[in-house]
Amino acid sequence: MQLFYTPDIEPAHPQYFLSEEESKHAIRVLRLEVGSEVQLIDGRGGFYTAVIQDAHPKRTILQITSVTESYNKRNHYLHLAVAPTKNIERLEWFLEKATEIGIDEVSLVISQRSERKEAKVDRLNKIITAAIKQSIKAYHPVLNEPVKLPELLARPFDGQRFIAHCEPGDKLNLRGELLPHGRYLILIGPEGDFTPAEIESALQNGFKPITLGESRLRTETAALEACFEVNFLNRI
């Protein structure tokens, strides 16, 4: 399957022009020709089958032959708010793997102990795009610009809210708390964890404390574990 990401495609239009970058990849790298069948995803749930009409390396013309809306739409909505890691490659790894497993939205949250205060969202979005093509997903996760924790805590969210942290105290297990096929927002802190004051503020804003197991996990590992658990618990 030759899959291309085409966010500007319109289902009602029978033709589509691949971007110069995608055209070059299709014709120069993949050696596709007139009559070759390809698949397209728009990041909004649309999955398309098309045939090459003009194999031009800068402006390949496609004829759309079929459209599937809401392709493999997930039965829940997962929003992870994750502190950017000091080593940006670890954050990139998390975004790639979480996209492949299944995630809908990611916020990069800056807390008091965050060692990284910024991130290049454009580059990170390219990693997400490559991951949806790899895993054949028609929905492109939303990646939000970095936001300070107090601002994120104050934002409304229509769903269950959780915070994973390493401070002592009673914590819940997602298996027993997660309402099936719901909407979830989960907070994952930086390498030094959230401060006690930040945890208390999250609790006051309706977040429930959760455990992700007995091991002390890196930020990106904890975020991926939360992503996996939510997806696993929503399989039925």
- Are 140 and 115 within 8 A, CB to CB? no
CA 57 – CA 103 distance, rounded (Å): 33
Q: What is the pLDDT of residues 19-53, one digit of tens each?
A: 999 999 999 999 999 999 999 999 999 999 999 99
Structure tokens at 161: 């809210």
| Per-residue pLDDT band at 18 (split at 50, 70, 90) | very high
Mean pLDDT of all residues in 127-145 = 97
How large a percentage of the chain has pLDDT more than 90?
94
- The pLDDT of residue 88 is 95
| Per-residue pLDDT band at 177 (split at 50, 70, 90) | very high
Nearest CA-CA partner of 9 in 51, 45, 54, 52: 45
Q: What is the pLDDT of residues 90-121, one digit of tens each?
A: 999 999 999 999 999 999 999 999 999 999 99
* CB-based contacts of 32, cutoff 8 Å, min separation 6: 2, 26, 38, 52, 55
Domain spanning 3-68, CATH architecture: Beta Barrel (2.40)
Structure tokens at 25: 């990849």
Task: Say whether pLDDT at 236 is over 90.
Answer: no
- The pLDDT of residue 165 is 94
Half-sphere exposure of 175 (CA within 13 A, CB side): 4
Mean pLDDT of all residues in 123-149 = 97
Q: What is the pLDDT of residues 49-87, one digit of tens each?
A: 999 999 999 999 999 999 999 999 999 999 999 999 999
CA 107 – CA 144 distance, rounded (Å): 5
CA 61 – CA 53 distance, rounded (Å): 5
| Per-residue pLDDT band at 135 (split at 50, 70, 90) | very high
Got the DSSP string for 19-84?
A: -HHHHHIIIIIS---TT-EEEEE-BBS-EEEEEEEE--SSS-EEEEEEEESSTT--SSEEEEEEPP
Domains of the chain, by residue range, sit at 3-68, 77-233
- The pLDDT of residue 114 is 94
| Per-residue pLDDT band at 11 (split at 50, 70, 90) | confident
What CATH code would you report for 77-233?
A: 3.40.1280.10
| Per-residue pLDDT band at 231 (split at 50, 70, 90) | very high
- The pLDDT of residue 12 is 85
Q: At what angle do helices 121-135 and 88-101 cross, to 10 degrees?
A: 30
